[in-house]
Amino acid sequence: MINKENSTNIQKVNPANIPSPVGKYSHITKIPKNADIFVTSGQIGIDRSNNIPESINDQVENTFKNIADLLAAQQLSADNVFKVNIWATEEIDWDYFDGKWDSLFGTEYPSMTIAYISALGLPELKIEIELWVAK
């Protein structure tokens, strides 16, 4: 069993008796007792001027910037993130996405779910990412 514990005492675990993750995530994340839990609304690829770019990669870029700013506003870091839900309306360019993912999380991956769906809250949105965070 691979059991990683970071500075926030959040444990990220991939048990040896099940298949390894097929992506950059942990199968199980354990939150310490008495931790404060934060849940974000889905973060989207809008920029500071309220523009939503057409390409999914540009939306991914903006979404990760928004996530980093949101965490910083609450004095949180990627180490505090224990669960990520991702919804996309078109195929994700995983080489591009993984670069942003790795820049945020390094190698301490939270648990993650990804779903491809037909639409998000606005017709121009192609990706939305929700975070569950503990401190």
pLDDT, one tens digit per residue, over 71-126 is 999 999 999 999 999 999 999 999 999 999 999 999 889 999 999 999 999 999 99
Query: Where does the pLDDT of residue 1 fall: very low under 50, low under 70, confident under 90, or very high at 90 and above?
Result: very low
The fold adopted by the segment(s) 34-134 is 60s Ribosomal Protein L30; Chain: A; (3.30.1330)
pLDDT at 8: 64
Q: Is the pLDDT of residue 2 over 90?
A: no
The pTM (predicted TM-score) of the whole model is 0.87
* 72-78: long-range contacts, CB 8 A cutoff, minimum separation 24: 74/38, 74/133, 75/135, 76/38, 76/133, 76/135, 78/104, 78/105, 78/106, 78/108
Closest CA to 130 of 102, 106, 111: 111
pLDDT at 17 over 80: yes
Tell me how far apart the alpha carbons of residues 132 and 111 are, in angstroms, rounded to a whole number. 10
Which sequence spans correspond to the domains of the chain? 34-134
pLDDT at 132: 97
Is residue 98 classed as helix, strand or coil in its secondary structure? helix
pLDDT of residue 36: 95
Which SS3 state, helix, strand or coil, does residue 82 take? strand
**pLDDT digits over 35-69, tens only?**
999 999 999 999 999 999 999 999 999 999 999 99
* Dist CA 135 CA 132 (whole Å): 11
